[in-house]
Structure 1
Amino acid sequence: MTQQTVVIADYDYGDVDIERAIIEGAGLRLAAADCKTEDDVIEAAHDADAIIAQYATVGARAIDALTRCKVIARYGTGVDIVDVDAATRRGILVTNVPSDWCENEVADHAMALLLAAARKVCEYDRATRAGTWRWQTGEPVHRLRGRTAGLLGFGAIARAIAVRAHAFGMLVIAHDPYLTPEDVAVHGATAVSFGELLEQADYLVIQAPLTEETRHLIGEPELRRMKPTSILVNTARGPIVEDKALYAALTGGWIVGAGLDDLEEEPAKQRDWVPVNPLFSLDNVIITPHAAYYSAEAIHTVREFAAHEVTRVLTGKPPLSPVNAAELAIVHR
């Protein structure tokens, strides 16, 4: 019998030792690649029995080229890099990692960006290093207590952010079209419409998945509706915010600042990326390299979980976190 092969399409962990121990320990073969495009994925994984992907797009074209694939596992929770519908049509299971693997890390990072922007930490640091020792270099700084934190999306991570915002004495509002006001209230927030969220939030924190509906959800019209003293924090996916509009907002005084854990261009998905985005030229935006999920413990967990998922499927066991199992059952019954 031919040994089944698992292809890791891409990774930035430095090695695949954790995955190798699990996958080869189950009698499977492991191959690691460095895919940036669908053509790369097709070349590396067309005859794979399973694929694990971190950033590489596994779209419909790549999926249609797969000849033996049974499962595509995502390193992480969001599956926007995988065409789940195409996988379902081909009878391929898609898995992810439940969000609790990095829930606290992302919530902490969102608050770190919010606090750094609100308290002008970076401005003070730059001025002090340049020889200016004056509290006035950061003015105005406003008190956090009593201000309104607005959450776009109210899943597990957003609820963890709400807990932290409450600890700083903030009021918390949230907009999530998939939850009832009662669902939101149970977790200590007030449900509002999308428009009310934009207009009322002093700190707008984006923690929604990237879908066709949320891509460029925050553009010029939305940014113009925000308070001129508000701060935008994005610890979700970069393309939810239109960078060109955000640059205009930050330079035109529509909002006062931003904290971003990703950019619309999603640099990690590009080969030979160059930092030419004009947002890098601004002092009123803080940018981190899609690191909100990172801790040594979280990375270990996500790597183990993804490797175990493909191993389960290829050895005839059900996965713990299937994304499209119900749809597969309907399409292929």
Structure 2
Amino acid sequence: MQKKKQTVVIADYDYSNVDIERAIIEGAGIELVAAQCKSEDDVIETARDANAIIAQYATIGARAITALTRCRVIARYGTGVDIVDVDAATQHNILVTNVPNNWCENEVADHAMTLLLTVARKIRNYDHATRAGVWHWQSGQPIHRLHGRILGLLSFGAIAQAIATRATGFGMRIITHDPYRPPEDITAHGATPVSFDALIEQADYLMIQAPLTAQTRNLIDETQLRRMKPEAILINTARGPIVNDQALYRALKEGWIAAAGLDDIEEEPAKLRNWTPTNPLFGLDNVIITPHAAYYSEEAIHFVRDFAAQEVVRVLTGKPPLSPVNAVSPASTHGKTFSSEEQ
């Protein structure tokens, strides 16, 4: 009987090509299909019979997972796996993998500090004023000294720790709220553990670096924004939906807080087809928005693509993944070992 090649479907990607993935996957004797799925229906149509899926932004929920007939692994381009219903995948004995967050640790930390410094030092204001012929330091007024200010970090993983190291160099005091990290670990990195309430109320600069979960979605809403200092600056280099954009717009428009720097917005444009910039935050001068680019460097992008492709090849050739998110039974239908070609 003629053997049928295994197939990997890249559900979606925003790179110019998939040459890196193709070299790895086809080099292992596995077929690659590249798609641009924007819905679960797209995923089902394209990847129903695939042996593996790699996804960047496309949602692979329980409905899509139930429809998959041969899938053994879903690999995420990146660290967060909220686009995948991991519980459903586990129930169907499908491995889920991600990329450990040190792949972009320095990039995100640099970006977070860049947003903070740009907003705090009113660089945008000065640039606009000077281009209009106004050559006065007062065009950025008021600006406050960074040294001695309190930087509050929501979550204290590897990226937040890298931010803390950079901020300490500017003479900032670091506080953090991370209920999953032992206090002694936090203090060992030069930060002070505090309650969530204390973080919101004490921070001069509040930086969000938490994962997007059911508990963190819309965590920063009107209630929390009203509790922040009026001169506070909010920086979000995590996921857009952690912040309620409607509440943030009011906070910035009405002066509940001073400014914001965002690397993503609540609707997450990268996940939408034919997105248009109608978010009212774009009309404000006291917010800077970047297109979920904090993780980007040429080196980081190459690494994450290589890692995700290598993960699916490892699984499809009977090897364990390096970064599994869940555990499945190796004796299951989906978990049994195949060669790079299957019957």
TM-score range, shorter chain: over 0.9
Counterpart in the other structure of 2:286: 284
Cα 1:331–1:116, aligned 2, differ >3 Å: closer, same or farther?
A: farther
Q: Conserved in 2, the CA contact under 8 Å of 1:146 and 1:170? A: yes
Give, in whole Å, the separation in 2 of the partners of 1:42 and 1:123: 48
Matched, 1:110 2:112: yes
Matched, 1:238 2:218: no
Counterpart in the other structure of 2:218: 216
Q: Which amino acid aligns with 1:7?
A: V
Deviations 1:67-99 (A, max 9, x none): 000000000000011110110010000000001
Equivalenced residue count is: 331
TM-score (norm 2): 0.95
Give, in whole Å, the separation in 2 of the partners of 1:329 and 1:111: 43
Q: Which amino acid aligns with 1:87?
A: A
1:91 to 79, 93, 103: 93
Q: By how many angstroms is 1:15 displaced?
A: 0.2
Counterpart in the other structure of 1:36: 38
Counterpart in the other structure of 1:147: 149
2:175 to 173, 176, 185: 173
Q: By how many angstroms is 1:179 displaced?
A: 1.2
1:56 to 38, 55, 58: 58
SS in 2 for 1:150: strand
Q: Conserved in 1, the CA contact under 8 Å of 2:93 and 2:329? A: no
Q: By how many angstroms is 1:223 displaced?
A: 0.4
Deviations 1:272-323 (A, max 9, x none): 0000000000000000000000000000000000000000000000000000
Q: By how many angstroms is 1:2 displaced?
A: 1.3
Counterpart in the other structure of 1:320: 322
Give, in whole Å, the separation in 2 of the partners of 1:89 and 1:133: 64
1:15 to 7, 14, 17: 17
Q: Which amino acid aligns with 1:79?
A: V
SS in 1 for 2:4: coil
1:133 to 131, 135, 148: 135
Counterpart in the other structure of 1:204: 206
Deviations 1:238-257 (A, max 9, x none): 00000000001001111000
Matched, 1:45 2:47: yes
Alignment gaps of 5+ in structure 2: 336-343
**Matched residues, percent identical?**
74
Counterpart in the other structure of 2:252: 250
RMSD: 1.3
TM-score (norm 1): 0.98
Alignment gaps of 5+ in structure 1: none
Cα 1:330–1:30, aligned 2, differ >3 Å: closer, same or farther?
A: closer
Counterpart in the other structure of 1:187: 189
Q: By how many angstroms is 1:330 displaced?
A: 11
